[in-house]
């Protein structure tokens, strides 16, 4: 019988900053896309069962399991304890060597342990049974297993290779204390020969040392510093080291509603998520990352401002056409499994505000003005000057009727506000009078049409009295003071309508605004935004209590998915999600600042 995927929180992330894999507590890699984040998965059991591809090293019989990342690195160590001994499995994807490898080291620390090895690769999202051969390579005639399917070649090397039985390679290995076995999976284009393939193992220590050196710069004077550090490391792992593109998550179609249709592909770079990540990195003291991302942004959005998209591929490619993979059963039966993302063609008017805000923060933090980047900003803001009144799909990417979302309009205000500030503070060129007037007009309009007097609250869009968690961001971008009575009323209305099990929903799906069937669970980023809102409203004890609760929802290795089901007490949605982690970092920094100014 085939084994299905584990609960989402039972996975951990490894990656080489070009792509990533999910490793389960059962020693199974159930998700791996090679060589890029958005390449077709060659191990896809996560969205089906082991027939869709997995690579497992797991003790035979019963065991207890604990996991950790090695120090402050992204090397994962899983320790299995059986009645007869202990084995440690270390999983790493070495970085910076221009290669795509997964290295697995199995060590027996105590007693004797029998380990089952299963290697079942299925390129093209679990669909293809590859052409597999044993080969001898190099001067020392090393035996390897080579699997070819279309453009991909996967090579398994190791101290003891598994044997082919019915489209899977399997083995059972008896390890005694002191034994150590290493296995490496390497991706190559299928036309490339493997005769001179170097071993990846030399890169392990360097990878760990480089990650630890980066983590050493994390801020220590924040609440829950370990959770903040792991979030920053995770955001870095989701940043492509060549292009600077930041993916929203390394997975597709982990459902927002188990068994439902709310399944999306997140292996792309949203301007929103990337800009917010960048702001969190800058606030946490990582200015270098900002340069890499700015380069990505300039290349991705270059061209006519009217062609600005809300998301791109990691290399800046624009076509992200959405399609379905009917042959994959989906996580917990949630179909369809989607590749690409239809939201790419949407109008989401908040996006330029987030980008302008991140670039303004970068200017202020580094004092550096890039003339090319400013020219681009002038073109983009000028384009918005013609269209800011139009309705849009909003930051939640609703597939229902476009609306005048208050959050989008406030972020339009941010775009003009930051552009005006750049001219005023840095002497940059631009139509400052015109932009100042538009900025002020947007504010007046939002205060008039986006605020509901009877509810004493801002509302989701101009034609409703519903609220939306994104309204909590209004004080964080400087649109209104956090302790303004209108904001205090908004927090109260959001608490009343959107709190579910102490966590926050994005909006009430029952209003039908998103044009989708089914419902969803509380959204973790929104729950962190409530921490920001409490802190800025002066409710520091509530802020700290909620922040600690949210950090407590991280799994055993500090990772968060997109949503959380407080009733079933399980993670929901794509995993790990940049939005959740960047919101954790932001909330920690906001809380630290608020606590400092109180003391």
Whose structure tokens read 């920053």? Answer: 232
Alpha-carbon dihedral sign for residues 466, 472, 478, 484: positive
Q: Does position 266 bind ligand LLGJG24Q by CB under 6 A? A: yes
**Rounded-to-integer distance, Cα 579 and Cα 597, Å:** 27
CB of 15 to ligand LLGJG24Q, least distance (A): 17
Query: DSSP per residue over 59-120, as a string?
Result: ESS--EEEEEESTTSS-EEEEEE-SSEEEEEEEE---SSS-EEEEEEEEEEEEEEEEEEEEE
Q: Three-class SS of residue 496?
A: helix
Which lies closer to ligand LLGJG24Q via its Cβ, residue 262 or residue 544? Answer: 262
**Rounded-to-integer distance, Cα 169 and Cα 179, Å:** 22
26's tokens: 């059962």
Q: Three-class SS of residue 30?
A: strand
Q: Does position 18 bind ligand LLGJG24Q by CB under 6 A? A: no
Q: Does position 413 bind ligand LLGJG24Q by CB under 6 A? A: no
Whose structure tokens read 């402050």? Answer: 72
Q: Does position 341 bind ligand LLGJG24Q by CB under 6 A? A: yes
H or E element, residue 373: helix 371-387
Q: Does position 468 bind ligand LLGJG24Q by CB under 6 A? A: no
Q: Does position 460 bind ligand LLGJG24Q by CB under 6 A? A: no
Q: Does position 579 bind ligand LLGJG24Q by CB under 6 A? A: yes
CB of 516 to ligand LLGJG24Q, least distance (A): 7
**Rounded-to-integer distance, Cα 199 and Cα 241, Å:** 21
Q: Does position 258 bind ligand LLGJG24Q by CB under 6 A? A: no
Identify the residue among 397, 417, 532, 565 touching ligand LLGJG24Q (CB under 6 A). Answer: 397
Number of residues that bind ligand LLGJG24Q (CB under 6 A): 15
The answer to whether 181 and 158 are in contact (CB under 8 A) is yes
**Rounded-to-integer distance, Cα 245 and Cα 258, Å:** 29
**Rounded-to-integer distance, Cα 120 and Cα 77, Å:** 22
Q: Does position 565 bind ligand LLGJG24Q by CB under 6 A? A: no
Identify the residue among 203, 272, 403, 521 touching ligand LLGJG24Q (CB under 6 A). Answer: 272
Q: How far is CA 321 from the centre of its chain?
A: 20
Identify the residue among 23, 185, 248, 300 touching ligand LLGJG24Q (CB under 6 A). Answer: 248
Stretch that binds ligand LLGJG24Q, among 62-70, 155-163, 268-276, 479-487 (CB under 6 A): 268-276
Q: Does position 273 bind ligand LLGJG24Q by CB under 6 A? A: yes
Which lies closer to ligand LLGJG24Q via its Cβ, residue 248 or residue 585? Answer: 248
Which lies closer to ligand LLGJG24Q via its Cβ, residue 147 or residue 310? Answer: 310
Identify the residue among 132, 313, 343, 551 touching ligand LLGJG24Q (CB under 6 A). Answer: 343
Please report, as ranges, the residues that interact with ligand LLGJG24Q according to CB under 6 A: 248, 256, 262, 264, 266, 270, 272-273, 341, 343, 395-397, 399, 579
């Amino acid at each position: 019988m085939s084994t299905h995927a584990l609960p989402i929180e039972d996975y951990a992330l490894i990656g080489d900053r070009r792509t990533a894999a999910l490793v389960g507590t059962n020693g199974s890699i159930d998700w791996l896309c090679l060589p890029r984040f958005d390449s077709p998965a060659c191990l896809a059991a996560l969205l089906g069962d082991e027939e869709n591809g997995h690579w497992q090293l797991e003790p035979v019989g019963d065991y207890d399991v604990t996991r950790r990342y090695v120090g402050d690195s992204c090397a994962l160590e899983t320790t299995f304890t059986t009645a007869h001994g202990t084995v440690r499995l270390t999983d790493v994807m070495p970085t910076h060597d221009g290669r795509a490898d997964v290295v697995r080291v199995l060590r027996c620390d105590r007693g004797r342990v029998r380990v089952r090895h299963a290697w079942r690769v299925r390129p093209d999202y679990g669909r293809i049974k590859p052409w597999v051969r044993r080969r001898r390579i190099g001067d020392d005639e090393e035996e390897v297993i080579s699997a070819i399917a279309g453009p991909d070649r996967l090579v398994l090397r190791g101290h003891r290779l598994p044997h082919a039985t019915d489209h899977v390679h399997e083995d059972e290995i008896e390890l005694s204390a002191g034994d150590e076995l290493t296995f490496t999976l390497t991706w190559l284009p299928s036309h490339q020969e493997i005769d001179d393939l170097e071993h990846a193992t030399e890169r392990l220590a360097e990878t760990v040392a480089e990650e630890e050196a980066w983590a050493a710069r994390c801020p220590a004077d924040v609440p829950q510093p370990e959770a903040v550090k792991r979030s920053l490391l995770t955001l870095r792992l989701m940043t492509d080291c060549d292009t600077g593109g930041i993916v929203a998550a390394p997975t597709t179609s982990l459902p927002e509603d188990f068994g439902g249709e709310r399944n999306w592909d997140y292996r792309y770079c949203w301007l929103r998520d990337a800009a917010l990540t960048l702001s969190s990195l800058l606030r946490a003291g990582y200015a270098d990352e900002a340069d890499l991302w700015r380069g990505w942004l300039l290349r991705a959005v270059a061209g006519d401002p009217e062609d600005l998209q809300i998301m791109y591929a990691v290399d800046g490619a624009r076509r992200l056409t959405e399609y379905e993979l009917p042959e994959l059963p989906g996580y917990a039966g949630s179909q369809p499994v989607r590749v690409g993302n239809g939201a790419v063609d949407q109008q989401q008017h908040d996006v330029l505000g987030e980008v302008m805000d991140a670039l303004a923060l970068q200017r202020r933090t580094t004092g550096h003005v890039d003339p090319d980047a400013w020219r681009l900003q002038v073109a983009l803001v000028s384009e918005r000057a013609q269209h800011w009144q139009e309705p849009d799909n909003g930051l939640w990417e609703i597939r229902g009727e476009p609306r005048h979302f208050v959050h989008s309009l406030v972020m339009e205000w941010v775009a003009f506000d930051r552009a005006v500030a750049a001219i005023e503070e840095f002497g940059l060129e631009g139509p400052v009078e015109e932009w100042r007037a538009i900025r002020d007009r947007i504010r007046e309009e939002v205060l008039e049409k986006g605020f509901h007097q009877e509810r004493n609250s801002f509302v989701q869009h101009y034609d409703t009295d519903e609220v939306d968690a994104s309204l909590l961001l209004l004080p964080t971008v400087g649109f209104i003071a956090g302790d303004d009575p209108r904001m205090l009323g908004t927090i109260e209305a959001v608490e009343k309508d959107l709190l579910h099990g102490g966590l926050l929903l994005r909006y009430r799906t029952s209003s039908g605004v998103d044009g989708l069937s089914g419902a969803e669970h509380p959204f973790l980023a929104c729950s962190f935004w409530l921490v920001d809102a409490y802190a800025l409203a002066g409710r520091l004890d509530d802020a700290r209590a909620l922040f600690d609760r949210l950090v407590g929802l991280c799994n055993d290795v500090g990772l968060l998915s997109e949503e959380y089901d407080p009733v079933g007490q399980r993670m929901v949605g794509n995993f790990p999600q940049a939005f959740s982690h960047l919101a954790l970092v932001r909330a920690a920094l906001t809380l630290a600042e608020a606590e400092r100014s109180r003391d």
